[in-house]
Structure 1
Amino acid sequence: MSQQQRQALDDLLRHGPLDVGGDVTEQRAVFHDMIASIPLPADVSAKPGELGGVPVVTVQTPENDPSVVVLYFHGGAYALGSASDSVGLAADVSRRVGARVVSVDYRLAPEHSFPAALDDAVAAYRALLDEDVPSSKIAFVGESAGGGLVAATLVALKDTDLPQPASAALFSPWADLTVSGASATTKAALDPALTPEALRRRALDYLGERDTATPLASPIFADLTGLPPLLIQVGSHEILLDDAVRLASRAAAADVAVELQVWPEVPHVFQGFAAVLDDADRALNAAAAFLKRAWAD
């Protein structure tokens, strides 16, 4: 069944209306409409608010443990998406982990260039700690650009007075804004969602004239020493495969406890399709088990 599911998902994405590298205003609307077309389960609560002056959406499902929190970072190549658009996947994480999820509505490019998103991420985390949630009971989760932002935020925390969270899970992280990984070429024909050209356009929006290898924008070039345990999940049919592999390798070289899971023949952020893809269901269960182990240690 999984092979049929993978092919159906590939066809859906390949013929969908989203163009990640297209006009920002148009594609934000397309992205939102795509997400809004999928109804949320009736037992999901999504409440807008703010943390440290940063807009957030708090997502809860039944039987959440109030003592643990996931700080969530949505995808969208730093230019698309929002915390509200992320509620579906965030709710799935919430249900499986048994924690409330706080999705950060960080500022987007090109209106707000680097390091606006990073500053918002650190501010939200600081505010969560100020609410007396122990760092040992917080995990970071991010998808795509949000996964890269998770890694960058963890690196940035080393220059603050803030402790690291208990762990972090990164789904298909965009961790190299130079778009220099070999898979940008070797997987281009297989990836139904992303193109190197689209990512380079969004990197320009985010960084402007700055070097795309800036470590806090492209964390594969950062010193990853001291980061908490990481889980990195990626599909083999995406141009960001090498971002995940290289990030895991650099983390391991820096003595970080890291697990890399490469799921065969699935696309970018496949975890968002758990309702129709068995691999996504299994991947989210694996991520939930990883996060809960870190909280238990």
Structure 2
Amino acid sequence: MTLQGARDDVVILYVHGGGFRSGSAAGTRGLGAHLALAARARVLLPEYRLAPENPFPAGLDDCLAAFELAAGLAPKVVVAGDSAGANLALAVLLRRAREEHPALLAGVLHSGVFDLRLERFSAGSWKGHGNTDLLLPEELGRIMHDDYLAGHPADDPLVSPVVADLDGLPPLFLQVSSAERVLDDSMALADRAARAGVHVELEVWPRMFHAWHVAAGFLPEATEAVTRGGDFIGRVADGRIVDGAALLDGPRSVDEVTNG
């Protein structure tokens, strides 16, 4: 989508979710509009080929091509997505970071599915949050694994990025609900990213449904969550990782900090 008065230095590539098997760019237009307003940036909503007819790497290839289109529209690209779309977004970030692509700015990942190894779907939050996650059925884990991978190894970092070498990634902004089956995915990813020296901000929202961001404009918590992501994008684009509150009095010397 386009936004009148948008900053011309940033484009957001937002990848829709749907378990790698469903969903569309049209279904994400409302969320994209609210993210565009929050970040004052244009948003590109790509379509990508879906499994099982088009298993890995078809969808990822389409998202990589969309990244190049976005990079032709502005010098800085933020890659974002929700659920399975967050998986694809992170795979794009990993590929472009390895290439040291000059347009890569940041990642914004909502309720991401970051681990497609089968053992993950029989333990942890995937198993334990069955009574609180009212959207994701337990069997969806195996379905995603089988349909999207079609025999491809699940420990490939581009399909299970929790096992990837995350060094060199741009700043990441993660949001997930404490009630979701995919809670462990974001927790593990944030931990690995921080240990790799990546700037990562993780927000765990209480008792929200999976990928609640899609209700932006209708649900106050969804609107706020998307707005916070837009604020993050603005900060990173302006070269301010922190919110600026710590800098209001100007920089302080080591001696000033030591002596109060």
Shorter-chain TM-score range: 0.7 to 0.9
Is the counterpart of residue 228 in structure 1 residue 170 in structure 2?
A: yes
Is the counterpart of residue 273 in structure 1 residue 215 in structure 2?
A: yes
Cα distance between partner residues in 2 of 1:158 and 1:102 = 20
* Aligned residue number for residue 116 of structure 2: 177
Cα distance between partner residues in 1 of 2:173 and 2:55 = 28
Larger Rg: 2
Is the counterpart of residue 207 in structure 1 residue 176 in structure 2?
A: no
Equivalent residue of 1:87, what SS?
helix
Alignment of 1:235-254 (within 5 A): 235-254=177-196
Question: 1:106 offset after TM fit, Å?
Answer: 1.3
Letter in 2 for 1:259: E
Residues 158 and 267 of structure 1, relative CA distance in 2, 3 Å threshold:
same
Is the counterpart of residue 160 in structure 1 residue 102 in structure 2?
A: no
Is the counterpart of residue 287 in structure 1 residue 226 in structure 2?
A: no
Report if aligned partners of 1:72, 1:101 keep a CA contact under 8 Å in 2.
Answer: yes
Report if aligned partners of 2:82, 2:112 keep a CA contact under 8 Å in 1.
Answer: yes
Cα distance between partner residues in 1 of 2:145 and 2:4 = 38
Report if aligned partners of 1:73, 1:142 keep a CA contact under 8 Å in 2.
Answer: yes
Report if aligned partners of 1:62, 1:95 keep a CA contact under 8 Å in 2.
Answer: no
* Aligned residue number for residue 6 of structure 1: none
Report if aligned partners of 1:154, 1:164 keep a CA contact under 8 Å in 2.
Answer: no
Report if aligned partners of 2:16, 2:85 keep a CA contact under 8 Å in 1.
Answer: yes
Alignment of 1:1-297 (within 5 A): 59-129=1-71, 131=72, 133-134=74-75, 137-160=76-99, 162-163=101-102, 165-178=104-117, 180=120, 182-297=124-239
Greater CA drift, 252-261 or 148-157: 148-157
Identity of counterpart residues, as a percentage?
39
Equivalent residue of 1:127, what SS?
helix
RMSD over aligned Cα, in angstroms?
Answer: 1.6
Letter in 1 for 2:178: S
Report if aligned partners of 1:152, 1:217 keep a CA contact under 8 Å in 2.
Answer: yes
Unaligned runs of 5+ in 2: 240-260
Cα distance between partner residues in 2 of 1:64 and 1:271 = 22
Aligned length: 236
Report if aligned partners of 2:96, 2:104 keep a CA contact under 8 Å in 1.
Answer: no
Question: 1:110 offset after TM fit, Å?
Answer: 0.9
With normalisation by structure 1, the TM-score equals: 0.75
Question: 1:116 offset after TM fit, Å?
Answer: 1.1
Question: 1:152 offset after TM fit, Å?
Answer: 1.2
Please list the CA deviations of residues 237-267 of structure 1 after superposition, one character each: whole Å capped at 9, or x if unmatched: 1100001111111111111000000000101
Unaligned runs of 5+ in 1: 1-58
Question: 1:202 offset after TM fit, Å?
Answer: 2.1
Cα distance between partner residues in 2 of 1:255 and 1:164 = 20
Letter in 2 for 1:192: L
Question: 1:292 offset after TM fit, Å?
Answer: 0.3
Cα distance between partner residues in 2 of 1:283 and 1:74 = 16
* Aligned residue number for residue 31 of structure 1: none
Cα distance between partner residues in 2 of 1:235 and 1:205 = 26
Please list the CA deviations of residues 80-117 of structure 1 after superposition, one character each: whole Å capped at 9, or x if unmatched: 01112211111111111111100111111111110111
Letter in 2 for 1:145: A
Equivalent residue of 1:166, what SS?
strand
Greater CA drift, 97-106 or 64-73: 64-73
Letter in 1 for 2:143: R
Please list the CA deviations of residues 12-46 of structure 1 after superposition, one character each: whole Å capped at 9, or x if unmatched: xxxxxxxxxxxxxxxxxxxxxxxxxxxxxxxxxxx
Greater CA drift, 277-286 or 220-229: 277-286
Cα distance between partner residues in 1 of 2:170 and 2:97 = 11
